[in-house]
Amino acid sequence: MKRVLVEDLETVIKSKEAKVSVIGQGYIGLPTSLLIAKAGFSVYGYDINRDLIKELLLGKTRLAKEKGIKNLISELKGKKYMPTSRLEDLIGSDVIIIAVPTPKGRNGPNISMVLEALENALELVRTGGLIVVESTLPPRTFYDIIIPEVEGHGLKIGRDIFLAYCPERALPGNLLHELVNNFRIIGAIDERSGQLAKLLYSSFVKADIEITDPLTAEVVKLVENSYRDVNIAFANEVARICEVLGLDVRDVRRLSNRHPRVHMLVPGIGVGGSCLTKDPLFLFWASKENGYLPELIRNARGINSEMPHHYAMILDDIIRRMNGGSTGTIAVLGVTYKGDVPDIRESPAEPFVKDLINRGHVVKIYDPLVKFSFGGKYVSDIMEAIKDADALAFVTDHSEFKFIDLAKLRRNINKRQVILFDGRLLFDPSEAEEAGFIYVSVGRSFGRLEERMIKINHLYEI
């Protein structure tokens, strides 16, 4: 039963008396819930995952590595923040925020979770309440699907219900800071909905908030991540060029970036994370359906997706040359998509590891933040992971790896020749080779490997 409208929504938001519910308690929903609760609202954090809710009720969180999250849960749980897996707890909400995933399907975006959450929100929000969608939406979803769904319930937007789109824009590893300090955009078809959403978000967002139409908001969110993906792809393309021309991409990047209008990013083994791997595709698919094929975005996505396979092939070839045609044992160090973040979503480690396994290699996995192997053998101690390895492959730029003692690592490996594959350009090539490794990296010529292998053999003979 929806609560009868007794007070103006603007009044209860301003006074922090509004009941706010957030559907989805993951990477965005949980910190958003906590920030709104910290601002003074009573917040119900709903998730379909009962185990996740049980953890939150015990004060535990899967985002414990995110600075400030655990402290906020301890401070607010049971007072201003109520985790729940009961939809009935959301009945009569003044505001419902939808923060569920929108993954990519085989042939396009999958918005089924958004639509399910919207259906629930329409049944649970009070008359005259506000629904805000934070989940990433493909272009025209708000106009072509969300609005008709709301109106199909006999509700007039801007009168019976208020509706807005406020896409999340935060990077795992620094979620609370980014949600508070990043510029936000709100899409709405009527002024009242936009202003009410802005009023709510202004309670915890310190940066500017701009109201626009929903389609612009949808496209802006996708353009931001597409821009990053394209720029990473350019760096990776230059790295591949350097490999075939016999150069080191470090030198090319350093010197190119001395130009005042050039800022080339650091190349690497691939791109991961939930947003950068799907948002460009959402933009590509929408544009293609409307008559324009955005080749740059498609090619950039292809370049970044190919990187882990390219280096799995290179590493396979080097090991077989080193072992007289036989496969070997590879220690993959780091499987999260980003350094110091326990997030494996769309990590380039997955295709890299699976490719190596398919080529017949034994793959051992060590990551200080997650116990996940993508089909390899997880080992909880780095020394155990590397002791019989033919190659070490650094796939993630964790801080633990950046300052690791390479000479100590080398002394703990019982092989004459050991490859160090540097997928994130963490190490100085000369230091790695002085430590006794055959150094291989992104963006560096592979043409002198035989010479380096002979040099390593000579060192051991001495």
In a domain, 3, yes or no: no
- The pLDDT score that the predictor gives to residue 2 is 42
- Residues 39 and 187 placed together within one structural domain of the fold: yes
Instruction: Choose the final residue of a domain: 180, 213, 246.
Output: 213
In a domain, 219, yes or no: no
- Residues 18 and 137 placed together within one structural domain of the fold: yes
- Residues 201 and 255 placed together within one structural domain of the fold: no
The residues of the chain scoring below 50 in pLDDT are: 1-6, 454, 456-462
- Residues 169 and 249 placed together within one structural domain of the fold: no
Domain containing 281 equals: 225-462
Q: Are 101 and 47 in contact (CB under 8 A)?
A: no
Q: Rounded distance, CA 221 to CA 198, Å?
A: 17
In a domain, 355, yes or no: yes
- Residues 35 and 130 placed together within one structural domain of the fold: yes
412: domain CATH number is: 3.40.50.720
pLDDT digits (tens, 9 = 90+) for 157-171: 999 999 999 998 888
At residue 311, the 3 state secondary structure works out as helix
pLDDT digits (tens, 9 = 90+) for 75-104: 999 999 999 999 999 999 999 999 999 998
Q: Which of 38, 221, 278, 415 is catalytic?
A: 221
At residue 17, the 3 state secondary structure works out as coil
- Residues 186 and 310 placed together within one structural domain of the fold: no
CA distances from 149 to 2, 46, 143, 146, 153 (A): 18, 22, 10, 5, 7
In a domain, 4, yes or no: no
Q: Are 189 and 213 in contact (CB under 8 A)?
A: yes
- Residues 242 and 374 placed together within one structural domain of the fold: yes
> Among 215, 164, 170, which residue's Cα sits nearest to residue 192?
164
Asked if 221 is an active-site residue, the reply is: yes
- Residues 234 and 264 placed together within one structural domain of the fold: yes
In a domain, 86, yes or no: yes
In a domain, 160, yes or no: yes
Distance of CA 52 to the CA centre of its chain: 19
Q: Rounded distance, CA 409 to CA 419, Å?
A: 12
In a domain, 350, yes or no: yes
In a domain, 238, yes or no: yes
- Residues 200 and 232 placed together within one structural domain of the fold: no
pTM of the model: 0.91
Q: Are 398 and 334 in contact (CB under 8 A)?
A: yes
- Total domains in the chain come to 2
- The pLDDT score that the predictor gives to residue 169 is 83
Distance of CA 226 to the CA centre of its chain: 13
Q: Rounded distance, CA 430 to CA 458, Å?
A: 17
- Residues 232 and 204 placed together within one structural domain of the fold: no
- Residues 118 and 240 placed together within one structural domain of the fold: no
Instruction: Choose the final residue of a domain: 145, 180, 213.
Output: 213
At residue 151, the 3 state secondary structure works out as helix
- The pLDDT score that the predictor gives to residue 170 is 83
Q: Rounded distance, CA 83 to CA 79, Å?
A: 11
Q: Which of 242, 275, 338, 364 is catalytic?
A: 275
Instruction: Choose the final residue of a domain: 179, 213, 247.
Output: 213
Asked if 275 is an active-site residue, the reply is: yes
Dihedral, 299, 305, 309, 311 alpha carbons, nearest 10 = 90
- Residues 274 and 370 placed together within one structural domain of the fold: yes
Q: Rounded distance, CA 104 to CA 107, Å?
A: 8
Q: Rounded distance, CA 96 to CA 390, Å?
A: 54
Helix %, strand %, coil % of the chain (to 5)? 45, 15, 40
Q: Rounded distance, CA 403 to CA 418, Å?
A: 19
- Tally the residues of the chain: 462
